[in-house]
Structure 1
Amino acid sequence: MIELLTIVARYGRAAMVFGLLAGFALPQLAATLKPWLPELVAGLLFLNGFRIGASRALAGLREGISSLKTVVVLQMILPVVALLCFAGLGLLATPLAIAVILMLAAPSLTGSPNITQLMGHAPEPAFRLMILGTALMPLTVLPVLLLLPELGDAQTVLLAALRLSGTIALTVGLAFTCRHLLARDLKERMASAVDGLTIVALVVIVIGLMAALGPAFHSAPWPVAQWMLLALCLNFGLQYACFRWLMWRGGRRIAVPTSVVAGNRNFALFLIALPASTTEPLLIFLGCYQVPMYLTAVVMRPIYAKALSPPP
């Protein structure tokens, strides 16, 4: 089993593309997996915490102010700027505006450290941004809730965000404890096996997340194509802009993990708290948004290779 998982880790990028295709081609399997998504995401978070370990995850605490600034810019300033722009255009109540604003207000995708590692970069900065961003989400989302009453009851959203923060704290704490007790010195072979298991979890998760997209593509291909174009532009555009900015500012070491986090957000978090009347039009966008997420390790790898090359 360990050898098999090691092989999966070796071909992680191809496995993630396979997950996307399976989500399209196997709608019944996707529908079966969909109810288990919360447990699968928690399992993925546990694997991340176990693989990285407390010592490596917390080694960057001295960079806490820098990480805090990054979270505030990504999760608070960007969505408020987008909100004001849409308001100025008279489009604030449209599904397009709500999708963009919520995506920008969301914390990092749980799988961002894995995506970063698949491209050969250190996953710890992405892991720290994911933990910090999720913990601060109840605060960073407040301006959006106050300025966008179309989202519904702010108290419901905040309570859901607090529950999420608590769940992540417990899961990561358990992962750190298990790593300390069972594998304080994780050998390379076992680390590769954990990476392979993480890839399997990512593949299973994306199949479940694609449950609504396949049928929608067959029944209404043009709206799906429009949402797909928006998802691709948002995800890859944010990643490229953030990468170029950080490289220009001399942040080569954190450029890739921060850029991956900038484009890959846990937009699905809002779907568990907002009213169905608000989220129903956004389900197709959620499915489309998985495509650039799972193609990041393939599409953005040549661009991010600049961060691995020695500086001139």
Structure 2
Amino acid sequence: MLSALSWIGAQGRYCLIVGLCLGLLAPGLAEVIRPWVGTLVALLLLVTGIRIGARQAFGERRDLWPTLVRIAAFQTVLPLIVIAVFALAGLSHFPLTIAVSLMLAAPSLTGAPNFAIMMGLDPAPGMRLLVMGTALFPLTALPVFLILDPAGGGVISGITLSLGLLLAILTSVGVGFAIRHLVPRLAETQMQGALDGCAALLLAIVVVGLMSAIGPLLRNDPLALLLWLLAALAINFGLVVVTLRLFSRARLAMAVPTAIYAGNRNIALFLIVLPDEIAAPLMIFVGCYQIPMYLTPFLLARLKMPGIEPTA
């Protein structure tokens, strides 16, 4: 069993592609999984907490400040700038505007450290961005919640959503850290590989559910789906490539992990607390966005740019 999971973890990139294909080709399965996405995301956070452990997640003291600066810039400043630009253009109430703003306010994709592992890179910086960004997410997202008011309940609604996310995140990641601490054997290489396999499987299952809105739109309005997909590709790949170029040219540390983080956000976290009637209109963008996200390891592996080199 452990060997099988380790093998799946080693083939993680291809596991992501299988999930994408199932999401596109099996709409019935996607509809079955969709109500469980929030629970699966919480379980993925739990597995990630076990995989990395608290010590590696938070790193050394010298790693704290650069990580916090990136989290504040990408999870609060960037979405607020985008919201302001859309408002000045008179586009604030478009579904794409709300979806993009929420995506930019979200923390790193749970599988981002796994993306680094799949590319032969050090996952530790991505882990710090993931864990600290996710832990701070209820605070960094609060200004966006208050402005967008996705649940339609004003300030109280925004605070309630943030507190709900905080509880879900601390519970999932905290239990994962505790299990890792209580079972030292989980730090062994074979167990780490098995946990990578579990994470890859969970990512593949989650993406199937997140693409539940794609099948019906493909049948009813393929042109609209194409436009949504093109927007998702442009936003994701644009953020990844621009961030990588800027950080590489400025010789800033953590260029690749930051690039992965910039374009790949865990928008599915909103599904833990948003009511179905609120989350449903976002599902088209969420589904389309899975495609460039899960292709990111392939994109970065083929980019001949400074900062992309396997670790020793």
Please confirm whether the aligned pair reaches a TM-score higher than 0.5, indicating the same fold. Answer: yes
Say if 1:23 and 1:210, in contact at 8 Å, map to a contact too: yes
Say if 2:23 and 2:209, in contact at 8 Å, map to a contact too: yes
Say if 2:41 and 2:269, in contact at 8 Å, map to a contact too: no
Q: Tell me if 1:134 matches 2:126.
A: no
Structure 2 gaps of 5+ residues are: none
- Aligned-pair distance for 1:195? 1.2
- Structure 1 residues 208 and 286: CA distance shift in structure 2, 3 A: same
| Aligned residue in 2 for 1:238 | 239
Q: What does the per-residue CA deviation read over 1:101-142, in whole Å, with 9 as the maximum and x for residues that have no partner?
A: 221122222222222221222222222222222333333234
| Aligned residue in 2 for 1:159 | 160
Matches within 5 A, 1:1-312: 1-148=1-148, 152-153=152-153, 154-184=155-185, 186-252=187-253, 254-271=254-271, 273=273, 279-303=279-303, 306-309=306-309
What CA distance in whole angstroms lies between the structure 1 residues aligned with 2:272 and 2:41? 14
- Structure 1 residues 264 and 181: CA distance shift in structure 2, 3 A: same
Q: CA RMSD in A?
A: 2.3
1:300 is paired with a residue of what secondary structure? helix
- Aligned-pair distance for 1:293? 1.2
Say if 2:76 and 2:105, in contact at 8 Å, map to a contact too: yes
The count of aligned residue pairs is 309
2:14 is paired with a residue of what secondary structure? helix
Say if 2:243 and 2:255, in contact at 8 Å, map to a contact too: yes
What CA distance in whole angstroms lies between the structure 2 residues aligned with 1:70 and 1:204? 29
Write the letter of the residue equivalent to 1:139.
Answer: L
TM-score (norm 2): 0.90
Say if 1:152 and 1:275, in contact at 8 Å, map to a contact too: no
What CA distance in whole angstroms lies between the structure 2 residues aligned with 1:189 and 1:134? 27
- Structure 1 residues 246 and 278: CA distance shift in structure 2, 3 A: same
Say if 1:228 and 1:288, in contact at 8 Å, map to a contact too: yes
- Aligned-pair distance for 1:74? 0.4
2:122 is paired with a residue of what secondary structure? coil
What CA distance in whole angstroms lies between the structure 2 residues aligned with 1:164 and 1:104? 16
Say if 1:157 and 1:274, in contact at 8 Å, map to a contact too: no
Q: What does the per-residue CA deviation read over 1:29-60, in whole Å, with 9 as the maximum and x for residues that have no partner?
A: 21222222222112211221211122211223
Write the letter of the residue equivalent to 1:46.
Answer: L
TM-score (norm 1): 0.90
What CA distance in whole angstroms lies between the structure 1 residues aligned with 2:79 and 2:211? 25
Q: What does the per-residue CA deviation read over 1:244-284, in whole Å, with 9 as the maximum and x for residues that have no partner?
A: 111122224x1111111111112233355557676443221
Say if 1:156 and 1:273, in contact at 8 Å, map to a contact too: no
Write the letter of the residue equivalent to 1:32.
Answer: V
What CA distance in whole angstroms lies between the structure 2 residues aligned with 1:70 and 1:142? 17
- Aligned-pair distance for 1:230? 0.8
What CA distance in whole angstroms lies between the structure 2 residues aligned with 1:7 and 1:185? 17
Write the letter of the residue equivalent to 2:12.
Answer: G
What CA distance in whole angstroms lies between the structure 1 residues aligned with 2:117 and 2:279? 32
What CA distance in whole angstroms lies between the structure 1 residues aligned with 2:130 and 2:204? 20
Write the letter of the residue equivalent to 1:135.
Answer: A
Say if 2:30 and 2:209, in contact at 8 Å, map to a contact too: yes
What CA distance in whole angstroms lies between the structure 2 residues aligned with 1:28 and 1:201? 18
Say if 2:109 and 2:261, in contact at 8 Å, map to a contact too: yes
Moved more, 25-34 or 221-230: 25-34
Say if 2:23 and 2:30, in contact at 8 Å, map to a contact too: yes
The list of structure 1 runs, each at least 4 consecutive aligned residues, that deviate by more than 6 angstroms after superposition, is none
Say if 1:157 and 1:270, in contact at 8 Å, map to a contact too: no
